[in-house]
Amino acid sequence: MARFQRSSSDTEPEFTTASLPDIVFMLLIFFMVSTVLREQNIQVRTQLPQAEALTKIDQKRLISKIHIGPLKQGKNKGNTAIQIEDALIENRKTIRNIMYNKLQEQPKLIASLKVDKESEMEIINEVQQELREAGALRINYSSNRENPPQR
């Protein structure tokens, strides 16, 4: 009995919390620095057009981005290309399969068309026809606000 008593009374069993803030600060700094917001490696230039009648898409998980614009580099630099996720689309007829598969996973999919403003409508029409084939009918012409507010 005596032995038990002594062990519980003499030393106060506390662990030091002094370094806890350091750990949390490390976490904080890690998050602040590493939040690069998963910017894909976009290989096409997409300078978005400006518009006024904008809607916001709050549910990010519904969005599937399609980039259309001139290639930034490579031997075909300047040629208009389509990029979905990380891959450039070689054959435009494959878009319907890609989008169809995505639609099976997310029935409320919104195809966000990030199109360079100097593109021609031909390629957009073509992509839209592919989207119709796939049944992905909700689209969004990604554009920026006109005259960005001065801060």
Partner 1 sequence: MAGLLEQRREDREGGEIPTAGMADIAFLLLIFFLVTTTINVDTGIGMTLPPKLQDQQPPPVKDRNMFKILVNAQGELLVEEEQANINQLRDRVKKHVTNYGNEPDLSESPSDAVISIKTDAQTPYDTYIKVLDEVWMAYREIWDQIARTGQTPRGESVGLGKTYSSYREYYNSLEPSDDNVIRDAFGAQISIAEPDTGD
Residue 84 is given by DSSP the state: E
Residues in region 16-45 near partner 1 by CB under 8 A = 17-18, 20-21, 24-25, 27-28, 31-32, 35, 37
**Nearest distance, CB of residue 59 and partner 1, angstroms:** 10
Instruction: Look at residue 80 and give its three-state secondary structure.
Output: strand
Nearer to partner 1, 7 or 50 (CB): 50
Q: Are the beta carbons of 89 and 82 closer than 8 angstroms?
A: yes
**Contact region with partner 1 (CB under 8 A), list: 71-79, 81-89, 98-106, 140-148:** 140-148
Q: How far apart are the C-alpha atoms of 130 and 11, rounded to whole Å?
A: 74
> Measured between alpha carbons, how far is residue 40 from residues 15, 57, 83, 123, 142 in Å?
44, 19, 10, 22, 16
Query: What are the DSSP calls for 22-53, one per residue?
Result: HHHHHHHHHHHHH--TT-----B-----EESS
**Contact region with partner 1 (CB under 8 A), list: 4-12, 71-79, 82-90, 129-137:** 129-137
Based on the shown chain and the rule CB under 8 A, indicate whether residue 51 belongs to the binding site for partner 1: yes
Binding residues vs partner 1 (CB under 8 A): 17-18, 20-21, 24-25, 27-28, 31-32, 35, 37, 49-58, 60, 63, 110, 112-113, 115-122, 124-125, 128-129, 131-133, 135-145
